[in-house]
């Protein structure tokens, strides 16, 4: 995983200090144009007739469902592409998440998917050209395939450069068609027999038309060339899918409302309808648009197919022979030849429906697995994966995307499924016989199993199975539970996962217990009831963490004795008190904190509760003498609150770069298997200055110290602004057992 994400910075080439930078030339508009341009290709002109024949006017739903699935998977694609913007697109994300076998499968699958898509576009081209010139469909399709292969072999990007123009022409033609068509609608044709063949036909229709949504993945595969990918890539992916879905649905509705279903079953139905609406001009415009679109889409598919082998080649999953770059034309000539030959072969053998379905199948497999990759990569919590766009409602959205792809695949024809199985079997055979021995690629799925599944499951088991006497306890000095929720939340976050107890200690002060008379006892019991009631008001929020809140009202002459005896009697792992301030009943004096520091044999936390709790940015300063308390406390809080966690270390000003690196490495070593954290060495004159400098950047500081140092540290970091501070003083020889 180490090589996955370092794309923003140029890399140093071996020797000589010359950097190689990949130019980011695509802005938001260009990326949108690639997505829309690749999607609005032949499909919208070739498939409406075929699909209306199979589903009736409900074909609009087939396109709508296709759009919904595309949108769900596009969100996952946007997340993984911003998490690791690298060339290679779907192949790259899936191989990094699921490992080389799935990478191999999806690499070959994408390649064949693009070959089927090119062949589908070429047959569509042949159909349209046939209506104009009478040339047999397959002859013109083969000839145009040959021409595109030659153009690509020469390194030409004529069709690519013309793509924006072609898209503009297409959109103009489509808008004209929609505009004119909307004045001639017969909605009775749609409503009278909307779904003649049932829901099954609608889903099967989605299986056939999904090829029309294939282009948006091209945006993700060019992530490395997009400026500010964190911002532009999700906008381009989602924007192009939403725009195209809306356009398709409107076109399908208009087609269904212009003629009865029986009159729509032709591959050139859009041109025929345009002829009805606008005469010869309309028909010619659609014919020219469709011919340009098919050529442009096929060219884009051939170019993309030739690029896939490079990404696989970098992982040593295909033969070097395949990735030879022609010395004169500087293109991967062998990859282009093979792509062209297979496209031509598929053109000869397949009919338009089979080609559309086969391309759709392989793209559905690709997008479904990208959704799975999204779940795995986020759950694996690897440092290298930091997506700038996060799929909302994770993991529901990617799960729905993957399930939607699976559902549509289930409705495909047996012939298509058989072809898919053959391609997957070929990829598996190629991997086990050739690729496995050569590649050193590893997927993130073991980390997902550990951090995304096993640890949450263990935590759950721990909650279910924890015995009462093994439940960790935190003794918290609380006078007003409703006003001191922050410290209760912190305590609950620390022990909640182990179903621990938060002991809210509120001392009932009296001089001598023995002298308490009946009246005093009555008062005591009423105080106990009041405090229990007050604690009950906040107990619900603590139960959310899994912790049980218990009120304890010791009768004693001082807060110090009350706390110490409560903590010891309850075998508390931690005691927590508020920050010393003005002398109030619920706030300990500095000397009280000092006494606790000196005499309390358990871990001690002193909390300055000024910042937001739960905190979003936690900076923790582990110290050598903190009894290994800071790291588990900070990691547990960050884990519970999904906060950004940084382990920091103070280094005196002027420390050398190498020493700083050593300090950071030591922090990483101490952090052990804590998931998702950063490390930082903070240069400052004193430890307290380092804490105060970080207080501007964080919501909460967890500052470690040893026994006897608490009071002086509190004095030094007194003014930490809006940031909460937890001074964590460890008790030597008492390791804090806490799963982080």
Q: Which stretches of 315-395 are DSSP H helices?
A: 333-349, 352-380
Residue 655 interacting with another protein (CB under 8 A): no
Residue 86 interacting with another protein (CB under 8 A): yes
- Least separation in angstroms between CB 282 and another protein: 33
Residue 514 interacting with another protein (CB under 8 A): no
Out of 4, 118, 152, 391, name the contact with another protein by CB under 8 A.
152
Out of 71, 170, 336, 553, name the contact with another protein by CB under 8 A.
336
- Least separation in angstroms between CB 110 and another protein: 13
Nearest-10 crossing angle of helices 59-83, 352-380 = 40
Residue 96 interacting with another protein (CB under 8 A): no
Pick 313 or 730: Cβ nearer another protein:
313
Pick 23 or 433: Cβ nearer another protein:
23
Per CB under 8 A, the segment of 69-77, 153-161, 360-368, 607-615 that binds another protein is: 153-161
Per CB under 8 A, the segment of 47-55, 152-160, 172-180, 362-370 that binds another protein is: 152-160
Pick 305 or 705: Cβ nearer another protein:
305
Out of 36, 142, 207, 331, name the contact with another protein by CB under 8 A.
331
Out of 56, 332, 401, 632, name the contact with another protein by CB under 8 A.
332
Nearest-10 crossing angle of helices 352-380, 198-209 = 80
Please name which of 680, 675, 709 lies closest in space to residue 697, comparing C-alpha atoms: 680
Pick 456 or 652: Cβ nearer another protein:
652
- Least separation in angstroms between CB 72 and another protein: 27
Residue 72 to residues 210, 367, 395, 652, Cα–Cα distance (Å): 14, 9, 11, 50
Residue 609 interacting with another protein (CB under 8 A): no
CB of 622 within 8 A of CB of 630? yes
The conformation of residue 435, written as its DSSP 8-state character, comes to I
**733: region left, alpha or beta (phi > 0 left; psi from -120 to 50 alpha):** left
Q: Which DSSP string corresponds to 105-130?
A: HHHHHHHHHHHHHHHHHHHHHHHHHH
The site map against another protein for 15-34 (x = CB under 8 A) is: -xxxxxxxxxx---------
Residue 157 interacting with another protein (CB under 8 A): yes
How many residues in the chain?
740
Per CB under 8 A, the segment of 83-91, 490-498, 554-562, 685-693 that binds another protein is: 83-91
Per CB under 8 A, the segment of 38-46, 80-88, 404-412, 455-463 that binds another protein is: 80-88
Out of 146, 155, 172, 672, name the contact with another protein by CB under 8 A.
155
- Least separation in angstroms between CB 303 and another protein: 5
Please name which of 353, 384, 268 lies closest in space to residue 1, comparing C-alpha atoms: 384
First-to-last alpha carbon distance for the chain, in angstroms, is 22
The site map against another protein for 264-293 (x = CB under 8 A) is: ------------------------------
The DSSP bridge partners found for residue 701 are: 619, 725
- Least separation in angstroms between CB 209 and another protein: 27
- Least separation in angstroms between CB 225 and another protein: 6
Cα(107)–Cα(110) distance, rounded to whole angstroms? 5
Q: Which DSSP string corresponds to 611-675?
A: S-SS-SEEEEE--TTSTT-HHHHHHHHHHHHT-EEEEEEEEETT--HHHHHHHHHHHHHHHTT--
CA torsion 662-666-672-677 (nearest 10°) is -70
Out of 330, 437, 519, 669, name the contact with another protein by CB under 8 A.
330
Please name which of 98, 33, 28, 141 lies closest in space to residue 375, comparing C-alpha atoms: 98
Which tokens hold the place of 466? 């924890």
Per CB under 8 A, the segment of 64-72, 154-162, 252-260, 363-371 that binds another protein is: 154-162
Among residue numbers 221 through 240, which ones bind another protein (CB under 8 A)?
Answer: 224-225, 227
Planar angle of CA 8, 14, 17, nearest 5 degrees: 70
Among residue numbers 302 through 321, which ones bind another protein (CB under 8 A)?
Answer: 303, 306-307, 310-311, 313-314
Residue 87 interacting with another protein (CB under 8 A): yes
**Collapsed DSSP state (helix, strand, coil) of residue 388:** coil
Pick 7 or 265: Cβ nearer another protein:
7
Pick 235 or 314: Cβ nearer another protein:
314
Pick 122 or 606: Cβ nearer another protein:
122
Render the burial of 513-548: b for 16+ CB within 10 Å, e for the rest.
eeeeeeeeeeeeeeebeebbebbeebbeebeebbbb
Residue 558 interacting with another protein (CB under 8 A): no
The H or E element that residue 585 is part of is none
Residue 614 interacting with another protein (CB under 8 A): no
Residue 654 interacting with another protein (CB under 8 A): no
| Count of residues interacting with another protein (CB under 8 A) | 38
Residue 13 interacting with another protein (CB under 8 A): yes
Residue 652 interacting with another protein (CB under 8 A): no
Q: Which DSSP string corresponds to 154-215?
A: TT--HHHHTHHHHHHHHHHHHHHHHHHHTTS--HHHHHTTS-TTHHHHHHHHHHHHGGGGTT
Pick 224 or 640: Cβ nearer another protein:
224
Cα(70)–Cα(76) distance, rounded to whole angstroms? 10
- Least separation in angstroms between CB 323 and another protein: 8
- Least separation in angstroms between CB 408 and another protein: 29
Residue with tokens 């290679």: 88
Out of 135, 165, 325, 521, name the contact with another protein by CB under 8 A.
325
How remote is the C-alpha of 646 from its chain's centroid? 21
Please name which of 44, 40, 65, 595 lies closest in space to residue 364, comparing C-alpha atoms: 65
Residue 463 interacting with another protein (CB under 8 A): no
Pick 352 or 667: Cβ nearer another protein:
667
Residue 453 interacting with another protein (CB under 8 A): no
Per CB under 8 A, the segment of 268-276, 325-333, 517-525, 728-736 that binds another protein is: 325-333
Residues near another protein (CB under 8 A)? 10, 13, 16-25, 86-88, 152, 155, 157, 160, 224-225, 227, 303, 306-307, 310-311, 313-314, 323, 325, 329-332, 336, 657, 660
């Amino acid at each position: 995983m180490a090589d996955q994400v370092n794309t923003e910075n140029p890399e140093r080439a071996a020797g000589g200090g010359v950097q190689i930078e990949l130019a980011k030339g695509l802005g938001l508009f260009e990326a949108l144009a690639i997505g829309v341009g690749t999607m609005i290709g032949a499909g919208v002109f070739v498939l409406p007739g075929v699909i209306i024949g199979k589903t009736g006017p409900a074909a609009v739903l087939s396109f709508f469902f296709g759009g919904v699935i595309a949108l769900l998977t596009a969100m996952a694609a946007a997340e993984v592409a911003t998490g690791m913007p690298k060339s290679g697109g779907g192949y790259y994300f899936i191989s990094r998440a699921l490992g080389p076998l799935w990478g191999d499968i999806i690499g070959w699958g994408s390649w064949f998917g693009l070959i089927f898509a090119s062949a589908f576009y070429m047959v569509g081209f042949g159909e349209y050209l046939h209506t104009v010139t009478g040339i047999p469909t397959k002859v013109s399709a083969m000839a145009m395939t040959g021409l595109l292969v030659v153009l690509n072999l020469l390194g030409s990007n004529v069709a690519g450069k013309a793509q924006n123009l072609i898209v503009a022409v297409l959109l103009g033609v489509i808008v004209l068609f929609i505009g004119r068509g909307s004045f001639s609608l017969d909605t009775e044709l749609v409503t009278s027999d909307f779904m003649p063949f049932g829901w099954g036909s609608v889903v099967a229709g989605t299986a056939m038309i999904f090829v029309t949504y294939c282009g948006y993945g091209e945006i993700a595969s060019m992530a490395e060339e997009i400026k500010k990918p964190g911002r532009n890539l999700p906008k381009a992916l989602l924007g192009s899918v939403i725009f195209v879905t809306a356009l398709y649905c409107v076109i399908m509705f208009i087609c269904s409302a212009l003629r009865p279903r029986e009159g729509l079953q032709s591959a050139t139905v859009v041109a025929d309808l345009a002829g009805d609406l606008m005469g010869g001009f309309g028909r010619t415009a659609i014919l020219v648009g469709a011919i340009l679109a098919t050529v442009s889409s096929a060219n884009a598919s051939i170019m993309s197919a030739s690029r896939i082998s490079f990404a696989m080649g970098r992982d040593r999953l295909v033969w070097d022979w395949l990735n030879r770059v022609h010395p004169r034309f500087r293109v991967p000539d062998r990859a282009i030849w093979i792509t062209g030959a297979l496209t031509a072969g598929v053109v000869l053998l397949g009919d338009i429906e089979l080609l559309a379905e086969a391309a759709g199948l392989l793209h559905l497999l690709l997008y479904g697995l990208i959704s799975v990759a999204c779940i795995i990569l986020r759950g694996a919590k690897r440092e290298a994966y930091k997506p700038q766009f996060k799929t909302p409602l994770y993991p529901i959205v990617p799960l729905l995307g993957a399930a939607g792809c699976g559902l549509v695949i289930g409705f495909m024809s047996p012939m298509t499924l058989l072809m898919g199985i053959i391609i997957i079997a070929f990829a598996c055979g190629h991997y086990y016989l050739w690729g496995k021995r050569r590649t050193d690629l590893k997927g993130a799925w073991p980390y997902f199993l550990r951090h995304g599944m096993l640890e949450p499951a263990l935590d759950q088991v721990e909650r279910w199975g924890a015995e009462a006497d093994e439940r960790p306890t935190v003794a918290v000095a609380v006078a007003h539970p409703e006003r001191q929720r922050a410290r209760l939340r912190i305590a609950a976050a620390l022990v909640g996962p182990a179903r621990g107890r938060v002991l809210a200690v509120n001392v009932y002060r009296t001089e001598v217990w023995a002298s308490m008379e009946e009246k005093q006892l009555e008062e005591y019991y009423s105080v106990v009831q009041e405090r229990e009631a007050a604690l009950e008001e906040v107990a619900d929020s603590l139960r959310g963490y899994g912790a049980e809140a218990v009120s304890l009202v010791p009768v004693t002459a001082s807060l110090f004795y009350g706390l110490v005896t409560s903590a010891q009697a309850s075998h508390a792992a931690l005691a927590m008190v508020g920050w010393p301030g003005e002398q109030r009943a619920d706030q300990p004096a500095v000397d009280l904190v000092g006494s606790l520091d000196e005499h309390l044999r358990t871990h001690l936390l002193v909390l300055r509760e000024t910042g937001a709790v739960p905190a979003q940015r936690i900076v923790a300063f582990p110290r050598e003498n903190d009894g290994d308390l800071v790291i588990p406390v900070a990691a547990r809080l960050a884990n519970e609150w999904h906060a950004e966690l940084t382990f920091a270390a103070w280094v005196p000003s002027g420390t050398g770069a190498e020493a700083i690196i050593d300090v950071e490495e030591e922090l990483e070593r101490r952090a052990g298997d804590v998931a998702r954290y950063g490390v930082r060495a903070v240069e400052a004159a004193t430890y307290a200055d380092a804490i105060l400098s970080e207080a501007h950047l964080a919501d909460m500081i967890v500052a470690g110290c040893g026994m006897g140092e608490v009071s002086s540290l509190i004095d030094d970091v007194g003014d930490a602004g809006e940031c909460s501070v937890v001074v964590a003083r460890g008790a030597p020889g008492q390791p804090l057992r806490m799963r982080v």
